[in-house]
């Protein structure tokens, strides 16, 4: 079972920041938080991951609370192409560790 | 990022036939690959984990004789749906991990299987 809880859907205006929350209150010390997104009828796309520090890359920023029980994915300037289902996943360390997908958040970016 | 190629992107077959789906890592060596299936408007469900040169590990409830997985090389894994039936119609997606780093998993573009 997925170890995360996300709102089923969110809306965002084009050009504004999209902040997607995720709860993972049972996360253990060696588990990472991953974010993927899936645009309709495509394979998931990696966005970002982190352990306990905040992370930023060219796609997004990941803010993890100090107690690591929740996190927020930030898309700083959402575009229409960012409309997708966003999955927050907790994954253990190691090459054989699986990605178990929950239901995700359907983000709709509106013009 | 790393590229995972999945083929075919869609396939239609008759009930009772077998279908093979290929998953290739194009610019990296994949020690571990994962196979998922996804029904319409549902999330991805992990079917099995395959490690190069060894037998796949199947998730509970997934029939290993129905869904044959072969991971014979570091760049290729195949999923064969044997004696396909209409209820096997689904979106199948593979994922691969670079042997140089376990942290990132990259996904193929998926295969839509329709069994008539």
Q: CB A101 to CB B93 under 8 A?
A: no
User: Which residues neighbour A94 within 8 Å (Cβ) at sequence distance 6 or greater?
Assistant: B102
- Residue of A98, A102, A103, A106 to mutate when probing chain B, most B C-beta within 10 A: A98
pLDDT at residue B107 greater than cutoff 80: yes
How does pLDDT run across A52-110, given as a tens digit for each residue?
989 999 999 999 999 999 999 999 999 999 999 999 999 887 766 788 899 999 999 99
Question: A93 to chain B nearest CA, in Å?
Answer: 8
> Is the CB of residue B106 less than 8 Å away from at least one CB of chain A?
yes
> Is the CB of residue B1 less than 8 Å away from at least one CB of chain A?
yes
How does pLDDT run across B69-86, given as a tens digit for each residue?
998 888 999 999 999 999
Burial (CB count within 10 angstroms: exposed 0-12, middle 13-18, buried 19+), residue A20: buried
């Amino acid at each position: 079972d997925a170890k995360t809880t996300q709102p089923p859907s969110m809306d965002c205006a084009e050009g504004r920041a999209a902040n997607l929350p995720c709860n993972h209150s049972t996360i253990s010390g060696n588990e990472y938080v991953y974010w993927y997104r899936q645009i309709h009828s495509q394979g998931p796309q990696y966005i970002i991951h982190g352990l306990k520090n905040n992370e930023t890359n060219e796609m997004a920023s990941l803010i993890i609370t100090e107690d690591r029980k929740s996190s927020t994915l930030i898309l700083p300037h959402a575009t229409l192409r960012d409309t997708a289902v966003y999955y927050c996943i907790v994954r253990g360390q190691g090459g054989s560790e699986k990605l178990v997908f929950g239901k995700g958040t359907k983000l709709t970016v509106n013009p | 990022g790393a590229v995972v190629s999945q083929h075919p992107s869609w396939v239609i077959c008759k009930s009772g036939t077998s279908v093979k789906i290929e998953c290739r890592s194009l610019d990296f060596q994949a020690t571990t690959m994962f196979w998922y299936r996804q029904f319409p408007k549902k999330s991805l469900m992990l079917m099995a984990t395959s490690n190069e040169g060894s037998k796949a590990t199947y998730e509970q409830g997934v029939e290993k004789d129905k869904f044959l997985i072969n991971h014979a090389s570091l760049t290729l894994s195949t999923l064969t749906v044997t004696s396909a039936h209409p209820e096997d119609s689904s979106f199948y997606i593979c994922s691969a991990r670079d042997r140089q780093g376990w942290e990132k998993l990259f996904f193929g573009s998926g295969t839509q299987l329709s069994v008539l």
